[in-house]
Chains A and B, each alone.
Chain A
Amino acid sequence: MNNWAHFQHGADIGVRGFGATREEAFVQAAIGLTAVITDPESVAAVFPVTIACQAPDDELLLVDWLNALIFEMSTRRMLFGRFEVVISGSELEATAWGEAVDVARHHPAVEVKGATYTELELSRQPDGRWRAQCVVDV
Chain B
Amino acid sequence: MDLSRLERRSEVEWVVPQSGSMRVPAIIYASEQLIAAMDDKVYQQATQVAMLPGIVQASYAMPDAHWGYGFPIGGVAAFDPQEGGVVSAGGVGFDISCGVRTLHTGLALADIEAVKTRLADTLYARIPAGVGSTGDLRLSAQEMDEMLGGGARWAVARGYGGMADLERIEEGGCMVRADPAQVSERAKRRQRDEMGTLGSGNHYLEVQKVTRILDASRAAAYGLNEGDIVVSIHCGSRGLGHQIGTEYLREMAIAAPESGITLPDRELACAPLQSDLGRRYLGAMGAAINCALANRQILTELTRDAFHEVLPHARLQLLYDVSHNTCKEETHDVDGQPRRLFVHRKGATRAFGPGHSELPSAFREAGQPVLIGGSMGTASYILAGMATTGSERAFASACHGAGRSMSRHEALRRWHGRALVDDLAARGILIRCPSLRGVAEEAPQAYKDVTAVVEASEQAGLARVVARLEPLICIKG
Hey, what's the 0/1 contact readout for B261-286 against A, CB within 8 Å counting as 1?
A: 00001110100000000000000000
In B394-423, which residues have CB < 8 Å from any A CB? 404, 407-410
In B211-267, which residues have CB < 8 Å from any A CB? 239, 242-243, 245-246, 249-250, 253-254, 265-267
- Given contacts A60-B254, A74-B242, could you give 19 more A-B pairs where the C-beta distance is less than 8 Å? A11-B67, A11-B408, A13-B408, A13-B409, A70-B242, A71-B243, A100-B132, A103-B434, A107-B436, A108-B132, A108-B200, A109-B435, A110-B441, A111-B131, A111-B200, A116-B267, A117-B249, A118-B70, A137-B94
Binds B, one of A2-10, A21-29, A88-96, A123-131: A2-10
- Closest beta carbon of chain A to B432's beta carbon, Å: 13
Contact A77 B132 (CB under 8 A): yes
- Closest beta carbon of chain A to B410's beta carbon, Å: 7
Contact A111 B130 (CB under 8 A): yes
Once bound together, how far apart are the Cα atoms of A137 and B325, in whole Å? 14
- Write the chain A residue with the least CB distance to B189: A75
Contact A138 B408 (CB under 8 A): yes
In B58-105, which residues have CB < 8 Å from any A CB? 66-70, 73, 90, 93-95
Contact A109 B441 (CB under 8 A): yes
Contact B39 A77 (CB under 8 A): no
Once bound together, how far apart are the Cα atoms of A52 and B198, in whole Å? 30
Interface bracket on A: 35 or more
Given A108-B131, A110-B131, also A117-B253 (CB < 8 A): yes
Contact A108 B434 (CB under 8 A): yes
Complex interface: chain B residues within 8 A of A111 (CB): 130-131, 199-201, 477
Contact B242 A8 (CB under 8 A): no
Complex interface: chain A residues within 8 A of B249 (CB): 114, 116-117
- Closest beta carbon of chain B to A7's beta carbon, Å: 7
Selected contact of B94 from candidates A75, A107, A114, CB within 8 Å: A114
Contact B95 A113 (CB under 8 A): yes
Given A8-B410, A37-B131, also A107-B66 (CB < 8 A): no
Once bound together, how far apart are the Cα atoms of A67 and B73, in whole Å? 22
Contact B437 A107 (CB under 8 A): yes
Q: Which of the listed residues B41, B90, B267, B436 has the most CB atoms from chain A within 10 Å of its own CB?
A: B267
A-B contact pairs, 18 of them (CB 8 A): A10-B407, A11-B66, A11-B408, A60-B253, A64-B250, A70-B246, A74-B239, A107-B437, A108-B132, A110-B408, A111-B130, A111-B201, A113-B95, A117-B249, A117-B265, A135-B69, A137-B69, A137-B95
Complex interface: chain B residues within 8 A of A122 (CB): none
Complex interface: chain A residues within 8 A of B239 (CB): 74-75
In B101-160, which residues have CB < 8 Å from any A CB? 130-132, 134
Complex interface: chain A residues within 8 A of B67 (CB): 9-11
Complex interface: chain A residues within 8 A of B250 (CB): 60, 63-64
The reply to whether the CB of A101 lies closer than 8 angstroms to some CB of chain B is yes
Once bound together, how far apart are the Cα atoms of A81 and B403, in whole Å? 32
- Closest beta carbon of chain B to A115's beta carbon, Å: 8
Once bound together, how far apart are the Cα atoms of A63 and B269, in whole Å? 14
- Closest beta carbon of chain B to A50's beta carbon, Å: 16
Once bound together, how far apart are the Cα atoms of A107 and B73, in whole Å? 28
Q: Which of the listed residues A6, A10, A138 has the most CB atoms from chain B within 10 Å of its own CB?
A: A10
Complex interface: chain A residues within 8 A of B356 (CB): none
The reply to whether the CB of B190 lies closer than 8 angstroms to some CB of chain A is yes
The reply to whether the CB of A120 lies closer than 8 angstroms to some CB of chain B is yes
The reply to whether the CB of B313 lies closer than 8 angstroms to some CB of chain A is no
Complex interface: chain B residues within 8 A of A115 (CB): 246
- Write the chain B residue with the least CB distance to A14: B409
The reply to whether the CB of B308 lies closer than 8 angstroms to some CB of chain A is no
Contact B242 A10 (CB under 8 A): no
Complex interface: chain B residues within 8 A of A74 (CB): 190, 239, 242
Complex interface: chain A residues within 8 A of B94 (CB): 113-114, 116, 137
Given A114-B246, A118-B267, also A75-B410 (CB < 8 A): no
Contact B477 A10 (CB under 8 A): no
- Closest beta carbon of chain A to B109's beta carbon, Å: 32
In A51-70, which residues have CB < 8 Å from any B CB? 56, 60, 63-64, 67, 70
Once bound together, how far apart are the Cα atoms of A56 and B254, in whole Å? 8
- Write the chain A residue with the least CB distance to B197: A111
Q: Which of the listed residues A9, A13, A106, A115 has the most CB atoms from chain B within 10 Å of its own CB?
A: A9
The reply to whether the CB of A12 lies closer than 8 angstroms to some CB of chain B is yes
- Closest beta carbon of chain B to A13's beta carbon, Å: 6
The reply to whether the CB of B196 lies closer than 8 angstroms to some CB of chain A is no
- Closest beta carbon of chain A to B443's beta carbon, Å: 13
Complex interface: chain A residues within 8 A of B477 (CB): 111
- Closest beta carbon of chain A to B71's beta carbon, Å: 11
Once bound together, how far apart are the Cα atoms of A109 and B200, in whole Å? 8
- Write the chain A residue with the least CB distance to B203: A111
- Closest beta carbon of chain B to A57's beta carbon, Å: 9
- Write the chain A residue with the least CB distance to B434: A103
The reply to whether the CB of B471 lies closer than 8 angstroms to some CB of chain A is no
Complex interface: chain A residues within 8 A of B200 (CB): 108-111, 138
Contact B409 A110 (CB under 8 A): no
- Closest beta carbon of chain A to B400's beta carbon, Å: 12
- Closest beta carbon of chain B to A47's beta carbon, Å: 15
- Write the chain B residue with the least CB distance to A107: B435
